């Protein structure tokens, strides 16, 4: 199994798309190490995790446009809305 993971990682790192993803992960890591990023992690680990799970279940059961169902469900709760606002703040979107 670890050999498969290593091969997948090598393949990813050798492709332009993989390098772009890795660069993005480095940026997210930098952002997540800020006070606001750590606050976001705490939100997700707390009640925000429940909001994400509920949204994911709604998206999984959606017959059309699961992405829209996920967002609608996430933004319909106080915790989900707070978490989305924090994501926007942390990522500077």
What tens digit of pLDDT does each residue of 17-34 get? Answer: 777 777 777 777 888 888
Q: At what angle do helices 16-32 and 78-91 cross, to 10 degrees?
A: 110
Predicted local distance difference test score (pLDDT) of residue 8:
76
> Does residue 83 surpass a pLDDT of 80?
yes
Q: Are 22 and 12 in contact (CB under 8 A)?
A: yes
- Phi then psi for 14, rounded to 5 degrees? -90, -5
Residue 9 has pLDDT above 70, yes or no: yes
CB–CB of 61/29 below 8 Å? no
Q: What is the overall mean pLDDT for the chain?
A: 80
What's the mean pLDDT in 77-84?
A: 85
SS3 64: coil
pLDDT in tens, 22-69: 777 777 788 888 888 888 888 877 777 787 788 888 888 888 888 888
């Amino acid at each position: 199994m670890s050999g498969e993971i290593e091969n997948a990682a090598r393949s990813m790192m050798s492709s332009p798309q993989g390098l772009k993803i890795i660069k993005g992960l480095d940026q997210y890591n930098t952002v997540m190490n800020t006070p606001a990023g750590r606050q976001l992690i705490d939100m997700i680990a707390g009640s925000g995790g429940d909001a994400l799970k509920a949204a994911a279940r709604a998206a999984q059961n959606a017959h059309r446009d699961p992405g829209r169902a996920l967002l609608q469900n996430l933004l319909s709760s106080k915790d989900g809305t707070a978490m989305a606002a924090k994501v926007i703040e942390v990522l500077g979107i």
